Amino acid sequence: MLDSKPSVLIIGLGLIGASLGKALRHAGTAFVYGSDQQSNVPEVALTFGVIDEVVENLANLKEVDVIVMAVPVKAIASVLTNINHLLPTVKVLTDVGSVKGAVVKQVEEVLGELPAYFVPGHPIAGAEKSGVGAANVELFDKHLHILTPLPQSSPAAVDLLTQLWSSVGADVVTMDVERHDEVLAATSHLPHLLAFSLVDTLARESDNREIFRYAAGGFRDFTRIAASDPTMWHDVFLTNQDATLKILRKFQSDLAMLEHAIETSDGELLKTVFHRSKSARDYFTQVLEQREKGVSFSAITDYTP
């Protein structure tokens, strides 16, 4: 439980930043300032109940407890230069990016060190819609929020950030920076890459109108994430290259194996892969159902192939 209501500055009022602001205000656990590179967005956010106060010029803000950089990964460095005057008194500096290694590197390069108040973070929540208008007060409820504390991160900063994310319904867990980027490359980055690629491949077919007109639910479900923000995902793939390429090449190898199985009519191999995949997907469904019931991440049984 928070002893007092901290002030939180959210820089970047897209889906994640706006949803966090709205959820913190709904929970009554923070006073929320909002800033965005698009000058009209904070006013819209204020009207929608996403923030408590508009920050038109970051230089005019003198002090704040928590700063959340809810911007594309490649924009972190420029944000840091604009908030440098706030850092001497800030209690927590964090982000919401899907890649952690690149964020840590930018913070160290710009600030010349990794300060104790810096705690990288990543909410495992989202939607194909973007922008302040897509703000969802329940976006983080019963979803994981991964913190990747550094050796330099102070326990007080980690604790305050944990309390804030817990107050909006998130199940907060911790993970090493490098491991985070490996796991997310497999579970988030690769699926997005495949969805973008499939939609692009079919869109460039001469009969794409027929393809899209007769596509059913399976195509819709698989490609839903191809409607995600192109700029954000451009940054993700260029800042998490090693981990993404590693899992992409593994997938390409397995896909070639299935190609060969189809070519040689190897039905047994196909059935083996399909059954193994169904078993893993069924386990994932159970995990989601348990999380919906409020079961903490640490209490969920590990999967055994």
Mean pLDDT is lowest, of 21-35, 203-217, 254-268, for: 203-217
* pLDDT for 12 beyond 70: yes
| Least confident range of 35-39, 149-153, 258-262 | 35-39
Q: In which residue ranges of the chain is CATH 3.40.50.720 found?
A: 7-174
Q: How far apart are CA 38 and CA 41, in angstroms?
A: 6
**Is residue 289 predicted with pLDDT exceeding 60?**
yes
Q: 237 is written with which tokens?
A: 């793939």
In tens, the pLDDT along 123-167 reads 998 776 778 888 899 999 999 999 999 999 999 999 999 999 999
The pLDDT score that the predictor gives to residue 211 is 82
**pLDDT value at residue 208:** 78
pLDDT tens for 178-227 read 999 999 999 999 999 999 999 999 888 887 788 888 888 888 888 888 98
pTM recorded for the entire structure: 0.87
Q: What is the pLDDT of residue 303?
A: 67
Of the pLDDT bands very low, low, confident and very high (cuts 50, 70, 90), residue 3 is low
Pair 237, 97: CB distance under 8 Å? no
CATH class of the domain defined by 180-299: mainly alpha
* Segment 80-137, tens digit of pLDDT: 999 999 999 999 999 999 999 999 999 999 999 999 999 999 999 877 677 888 889 9
In percent, how much of the chain has pLDDT > 70? 97
pLDDT > 60? residue 1: no
What average pLDDT score do residues 69-77 get?
94
The predicted model gives 233-256 an average pLDDT of 95
List every span in the chain annotated with CATH 1.10.3660.10.
180-299
CATH homologous superfamily for the domain 7-174 = NAD(P)-binding Rossmann-like Domain (3.40.50.720)
The whole-chain average pLDDT of the chain stands at: 92
Residue 58: band (very low, low, confident or very high) from pLDDT cuts 50, 70, 90: very high
